[in-house]
Structure formats: C-alpha cells, structure tokens
Structure 1
Amino acid sequence: MDVMDSFAGRRVPRTVTDAGLALLFTVGAFAPLGPMPPDAPALRTPDVLFVVLALLSAVPLAVHRRFPLPVLLVMAAAVAVLQARDYVPHLSGPQGTSIGPVHLAVATAVLLTALRGTPRTATVVAAAVIPVTAATEALLAPAGHRVTALLADVVLLVAAWALGRLTRARAAIRDQALERAAALERAQEANARAAVMEERARIARELHDIVAHNVSLMVVQTIAADRVQDRDGAKAHELHGTIEETGRATVTELRRLLDVLRTADETDTDPNREPPQPTVEAVPALVDSVRATGLTVDFTTTGTPAELPAGSHLTVYRVVQEALTNTLKHAGHTRTDLTLAWEPGHRRLVVRVCDDGPRADEEPSPRPPALADGGGHGLVGMRERVAAVGGSLSTGPRPGGGYCVHAVVPLPGLPAAPHDDPVQDDPVQDDPAHDDPAHRGHDLRPDLDHHLRHEGHPPHARHPRPAGR
C-alpha cells in the first residue's frame, strides 16, 4: 500500500488522496502566520496575485498522479515567486529557519514524484530540480543567510526524495514477493495435478494388469469347463471352483486398489492403507494359477536372488503376468518357457517369457468380446513399467513361430552395462497393435536377435524352436 494511500487500514481512492493533499496545503497557504520577530522583514499584504500564487503552490497536487514532473515544477516556481514578492517568509532568515506550508507542499511534491515517477523522472528530480530549487532559495534569502537557506532546502528536498525512492523500492520488493508466492502456488498446483495424473496412470495400469490377467484366466477356464462338462463332470466342477476362486481374488485385488482413491484426510491419518503390492516371490503362485488353465509353463530361476526395490518387484511381477496373459489369449494351451535369470555380475535381472505359438491341433482361444478393443495397453504398460525402473524391454516373434518377451531390470547399485541397453525403439515394437493376434505375425526377429547377441548368447538359444514345429 503506497504512502498516504490508506486511512484506518482501508484502501483510499488515489484521486481522493491527491485532492485531500491539495486541499490541506491550500488551507495552509492561506492560514495566517504566527507572530514574526521584530527584526524580520515585513511581509506584503495579500492581494489577488498572492491568491493566484498560493493556489498554484498547492492545488496542482490534485493532478500530480497524471503529471508528476510538471506539477512539481509549477509548485516550485509558485513558491519561489511567493518568497521573491515577500508574501511568505524565506526558508532561512533573521527569524531563523522556518519551514512553512508552501515549503512542505514542494517537499511533498518531490516525495510523490520520486515515489510514482519512472526511474528516469526520479533521476531528473535529483540531478536538476532539487539543485535548481535550492539555488533559487539561496539567491532569494537575505544576505548572511544564503548558505543556511541552501543547506536547509537541500536537506528537506533530498530527504523527501530519498523517502519516496525507499518507499517505491519496498513496494517493488513486496510486489516481487507476492509474485513469487503466486508463482510458487501455481507450481504447487501444477505439481499436484501432475501427481494426480501420475497416480491415475498407475491405477489404470494396475487395473489393466489385474482385470486382463484374471478375467482372461476365468474366460479360458470357463471354455475348458464347458468342453469337458459332459465327459468329465468332476473336472468341470474343479474348473468351476477355480473360476470362483479367481473371481474372488480379482474382487479382493480391485477393492485393495480402489481403496487408494481416498480423501486427503484419510491419507494423512492412516498412511498404512496402501494396498500391498506383489513381489518376485509371488511369481510361482502366479505360474501355478496359469497352469491351472491348461497352459504348460516351464519355470526356471537361475543365479542368486538379490534385493530389489519395491518398484522393481512390482515391475517383474507385472511383466510376467502380462506376458503369460497374452500367451493365453493369443496362443492358447501352448508351451511357455519362463526364466528369471539373476546376474549380479552384470547388475541385472533378466526376465524371459517365450511361447511356442498355437499348437497344430488347436486354434488359439478367441479373444473375449469385452476385451476385443483393448487397444494394446499391455505392451505399452510393460514398456512404461520397465523404463520407469531404468530397465529395457524387447518383444517380438520367434523364428518359425511363437513369441518372446525379454526384459532387463537393473539391480540396486550400478546401472545396467551399456551393452545391455535395448534395441533402438522401433515404431512397430511400440505399436499397441502387438496385443492383437492379427499383428503377432510381423517379424521383429532381426531386432530381437541383435539384442540377444549383445547379451552374450545366440538368439533363442535357450528357447529353440521345437522339432517338427
């Protein structure tokens, strides 16, 4: 809030402030002076010229905000003429130093000009207006009092100018602080929105992984139960029980995940409500649930398991889950090799999921209508998850049939070696259409072969094409 722009803590219109100052100094200019010393020079009797000059020494303050420098010059000239015509006492004389209303009016005009004017205007006032006004005051003062008048006028006007510039600087600092606070608030809001969007994306990936996997298992089990209903009622009953268990597990996982969508107060008062996330140790149970659908999974673990961050645990689990789910949907009851290779020497965990493709005597299970337009979020989600933990992902068909998913997850400590980086992103590899069986025939073998050769072994050496296939 500017100087003299407030009263009793309330904002006062600027035009009212300027008009009030003009009225105040006008009344002061016409007010009768107190008794003068006997040796002081006699003052001229007020006349019409005095009235005009007195008005010019105060009334222009009413428009100072629009014309700061012209108003100051007019007021300073009017006061100089008032002193030259002996209508008002000099600033310094036989009566001593007396600062009258007209001198205060000029000082106020200097203060407001320094406060409201541009830096260039303030410089003109300090370098030209104040020296000229002080010199004029000294020339008009009685002999023997000129130096005193000069010093008194310089001190008065320089103090007013300095106060105006200081107030302007403080106002600028205040405005900058407010702007920084507003910018910080905007940044915090943007960060909050980004955090919300990131959480929504995470929840969307979790929902996809849970629903796509478990619902696919339920569909495959339902189809199998329907086929064996007539010839093996016990087996059909067992499959129906498995479907029920899978459905209940799906509901439980969904409830745990949706429990994340809680209010901020609940988050602050109960930080332990975050649902538990699956880890690498849960992969064998996942494999068992997939085997129950009729998919043959050869699960192998090599190397010594190492500590992994929670995010890497979840990434490995979801990659295996999505790869096995895609195999069920697109290749049916085929054979699949799953390998978790712990390689501490290379600071990495290698995940390989390779299937043999649809069997010759079996057509791939049709995709359920509800999942027909899934848009390929599975591979995109896998790639995002692996990239988020600093790893790499390669996917593509195997020579002669089948499909491979190959992920490299770095272990804590040093990042993966440069030669472990995945092949350069290929538009086809990133294409969501890879989730569609119609696109599984597009051969990515050259890229995948190149990647596996860089890992120190020939492509598909661990998963050769079965004989006769």
Structure 2
Amino acid sequence: MKARPQAADALLALGLLVVGLPQLFLEELPEGADYDQFRAPDLWSGLLVVAVAMSLTWRRRHPLQVLMFIIGGELVMAVAGYPPAVPDVVAFLIAVYSVAAHRGLAQSALGGLAGFVYFLVYLMLLLPVSTSLPVMVTDCALVVGVWVLGRNLRLRRAYFAELEDRAARLERARGTDARAARIEERSRIARELHDVVAHHVSVMTVQAGAARRIIDRDAGSAREAMSTIEEVGRTALSEMRRIVGVLRTDRDVEQAGRELAPQPGLGDLGELLDHVRETGLSVQLWIEGEARPPSPGVDVAAFRLIQEALTNTLKHAGPQARAWVRLYYGDRDLTVEIEDDGRGTVTFMADNEDNQGHGLVGMYERVALYGGELRIGPRVGGGFGVRARFPLEA
C-alpha cells in the first residue's frame, strides 16, 4: 500500500462507509425537541455521505480541495436538516490532518483556519441541538489537535528526509575521499617501483658496458657480467609486471626526474627503529626463521608498512605505550607484525570515523599489489595490531 497511497486512501474511505452507513440508517435518534428537527436519513443523505467519504481518495494529492469539498458537503447536509453522520465527521478530521501533513505552512494554515471556522459555525449556528461550553471547547480542541498532529508529522518527515540526504552526501564524499586516497597511494607506489626498476636497469647498463670492454681479454669475467645482467633483468621484468595496472597521475610526470636510488628496505629497519625510539616510544624487534632477501618491491612495501604502522602508534597509542615488530620468514612468504599496547583502538577509530585514513588505504594497496594479505584491528589484551603476509618471490 505504500507504493499505491491512493488505493490505500480509497480503502480507508470504503471502511468508513462500511462502518458508518449502517449506523446512519439503523440507529434511531434520541427523543427530544431538538432532535425532532432533524430529517430522517434517506437516499439523498446516503449519497451525500458516500460522496463526502469517497473524496478522501484524493486527500494526499489534493488535500486542500478535498477539505473544501467535505466542508461543502456537510454544509449542504446541515442546511437540508440531515443529522451529522459518523463517516462525514471522521472524513472532516482526516481532511484537516491531510492538509497539515501534505502541504506547506501557508496552505496548511489556510486549511486549518477554514476547518476551524466551519466547525465553530456549525456548532454554534447550524446544529439545532444545544451544545454546552465544555463540549464545544473539547470539540474545537480536537480539530486543532488533529491539525497540529499533521503538521508535526510533516516536519518530522522533512527532518528524516534531510538526515537521509545528508547521509547520502557524506557517503558520496567518503567514497570520493577513498578513491582519491587510492589514486594518491597508487601513484606513490608507482614512483617507488619506478625507482626500483630504474636501479636494476642502471645496473644492467653498467654490467653490459663492462662486459663489452673486457670480453676480448677476459671472457670469464664477461660471462659473469652477462649472468648478472640476466638475473637483474629477470628481477626488473618481475617488478615491471607489478607496475601494470597501477594508476598514474599527472604529478608522476613532473616527478619522473627523481634520483634513481632505490627506496629504503628491511635492511634499513634498524635505522627506522632508532628514529622511533628517539621519540620516546619503546620498540622491540624480533626476527624468526631464515632471513632471506625478498624481491625489491616487497622489500620496499614491507618497510613502508612498518613505517606507517609505527607512525600510527606514535599518533594514537599514548605516551606510555610499547610496540613490537616481528618478522617471520617462512618457506615462501614473509609475515610482518606490528603491535602496541596503547589506547589506539579507541582514538584511532574515533579520529577516522568520517575519513577511514589514507594510511590504511595505502597499507591495503601496497599489500594487495604484491598478492599479499593484510589484517588490521584491535589486539587481544588491548592496543592495536597490523599483520601482513608477503610472498618472498615475485
């Protein structure tokens, strides 16, 4: 019925007629001089009652016109001397409510004033039965209360519609921020991969030049240089495959002339932890398994992951927090864990309620780029934890 409100209103009108028409023709009026002035209900009064009640079918689309039609129909019945019918009275109250609930302040105020004036005139002048002052005040208060109820419901609907619209705008803005963060992080990753691959190409160029110069007088050294070129070339090709699909921005072109030295890797982890300890954060490092050098891209990604996780710990964990960095070297993968025992679970989530953090987006992008897995969340016993698994081989 929500999808077809006019059909629901038609059923409402029919329900009023089913209940009210039998009462109109079967119930006898009370005895008394006042009630003797009413005409007995007949076919014409029944048709008027049906017309007035069925007009509620259009109460949402044309509420003010429906109210005026109902007032006109009841005036005709009052002038003709017919007694008030229950369907007409209920239809009048519903029409007053509909004007207040489905129209703006100007039309709803006009409809409410017209309904109140008509009801007051009907009680004082058109109704032959004498009405006491308390009953009159109560009936008028009922009309006013119905109008106020409709007005409040309209304002409430408008308030919830505004909340839904605001939530939709915030959701769109959040999606835009997340997309911008992904593009920014992918661009930064692409630049770092460019540096790694460029480094390999530089090594290949130097080795090829050396092999060309010594190939005539030292064939063994030349073959060794060729083997180095082959190995470095394969690594460079592997890293180039990682670049495919990474989005680039115009800013990458401007920064393409950066130095070709590779980015920091796990070999620089000690220096990173020393810098973190200088800030006052206690950090411990564990290395388990047989340490083996990962591919250059994974080396950079793991280092950046640890760097970002420790940066978040410094921001959110609190002054008395401690942190642990663990490296697990498996047969084919490298697992990196960064945990702390601070209060970062609450503050980090609160700070990122509206913006889910470009750092987190960067972590997911880096790990996903190398076919790894990432888990971020609260730590058992308090604090925050980051766990990532990288494949050692490209």
Distance 1:106 1:148 in 2: 21
Aligned twin of 2:71: 76
Distance 1:103 1:184 in 2: 46
Contact 1:56 1:74 in 2 (8 A): no
Aligned twin of 2:356: none
Distance 1:225 1:233 in 2: 9
1:61 to 52, 56, 59: 56
Counterpart residue type for residue 13 of structure 1: R
1:50 to 38, 42, 45: 45
> 1:220 Cα deviation (Å)?
2.6
1:283-432 mapped onto 2 (5 Å cutoff) = 307=275
Counterpart residue type for residue 56 of structure 2: L
Unaligned runs of 5+ in 2: 247-261, 269-273, 278-394
Distance 1:104 1:33 in 2: 19
Q: 1:45 to 1:144 in 2, by over 3 A?
A: closer
Choose 222-231 or 123-132, whichever is displaced more. Answer: 123-132
1:20 to 11, 16, 19: 11
Choose 42-51 or 245-254, whichever is displaced more. Answer: 245-254
> 1:307 Cα deviation (Å)?
4.1
Q: 1:226 to 1:277 in 2, by over 3 A?
A: closer
Distance 2:230 2:185 in 1: 30
Contact 2:77 2:83 in 1 (8 A): yes
1:203 to 189, 194, 197: 189
> 1:154 Cα deviation (Å)?
1.5
Matched, 1:243 2:229: yes
Distance 1:159 1:215 in 2: 83
Distance 2:234 2:113 in 1: 86
Distance 2:6 2:71 in 1: 22
Tell me the SS of whatever aligns to 1:37: coil
Contact 1:137 1:153 in 2 (8 A): no
Aligned twin of 2:100: 114
Matched, 1:178 2:164: yes
Higher relative contact order (CA 8 A, sep 6+): 2
> 1:209 Cα deviation (Å)?
0.9
> 1:144 Cα deviation (Å)?
4.5
Counterpart residue type for residue 34 of structure 1: E
Contact 1:210 1:254 in 2 (8 A): no
Distance 1:227 1:124 in 2: 100
Distance 1:34 1:143 in 2: 17
Contact 1:80 1:137 in 2 (8 A): no
Distance 1:149 1:141 in 2: 13
What CA deviation, in whole Å up to 9, does each residue of 1:240-299 have, x standing for no partner? 3543564476578679x78xx9xxxxxxxxxxxxxx9616986xxxxxxxxxxxxxxxxx
Matched, 1:41 2:39: no
Counterpart residue type for residue 208 of structure 1: H
Q: 1:149 to 1:69 in 2, by over 3 A?
A: farther
Counterpart residue type for residue 61 of structure 1: L
Q: 1:248 to 1:12 in 2, by over 3 A?
A: closer
Tell me the SS of whatever aligns to 1:57: helix
Contact 2:35 2:129 in 1 (8 A): no
Contact 2:96 2:115 in 1 (8 A): no
Counterpart residue type for residue 86 of structure 1: G
> 1:12 Cα deviation (Å)?
4.8
Aligned twin of 1:376: none
Contact 2:52 2:69 in 1 (8 A): yes
Distance 1:229 1:207 in 2: 32
Matched, 1:191 2:177: yes
> 1:225 Cα deviation (Å)?
0.5
Tell me the SS of whatever aligns to 1:145: coil
Aligned length: 257
What CA deviation, in whole Å up to 9, does each residue of 1:206-245 have, x standing for no partner? 2211112211220231122122100233542453354356
2:122 to 136, 149, 157: 136
> 1:200 Cα deviation (Å)?
2.0
Structure 1 length-normalised TM: 0.47
When the two chains are superposed, the root-mean-square deviation of aligned CA atoms in Å is 3.8
Contact 1:131 1:154 in 2 (8 A): no
Tell me the SS of whatever aligns to 2:183: helix
What CA deviation, in whole Å up to 9, does each residue of 1:309-328 have, x standing for no partner? 9xxxxxxxxxxxxxxxxxxx
Counterpart residue type for residue 63 of structure 2: P
Distance 2:239 2:3 in 1: 62
Aligned twin of 2:215: 229
Unaligned runs of 5+ in 1: 1-5, 90-98, 262-275, 283-305, 310-469
Aligned twin of 2:83: 88
1:164 to 150, 161, 165: 150
Structure 2 length-normalised TM: 0.55
> 1:16 Cα deviation (Å)?
0.5
What CA deviation, in whole Å up to 9, does each residue of 1:41-68 have, x standing for no partner? 1331233542343233212222233322
Contact 1:107 1:157 in 2 (8 A): yes
Tell me the SS of whatever aligns to 1:46: coil
Counterpart residue type for residue 143 of structure 2: L
Distance 2:31 2:3 in 1: 45
Q: 1:52 to 1:36 in 2, by over 3 A?
A: closer
Distance 2:47 2:16 in 1: 14
Report which of the two structures shows the higher radius of gyration computed on alpha carbons. Answer: 1
What CA deviation, in whole Å up to 9, does each residue of 1:334-354 have, x standing for no partner? xxxxxxxxxxxxxxxxxxxxx
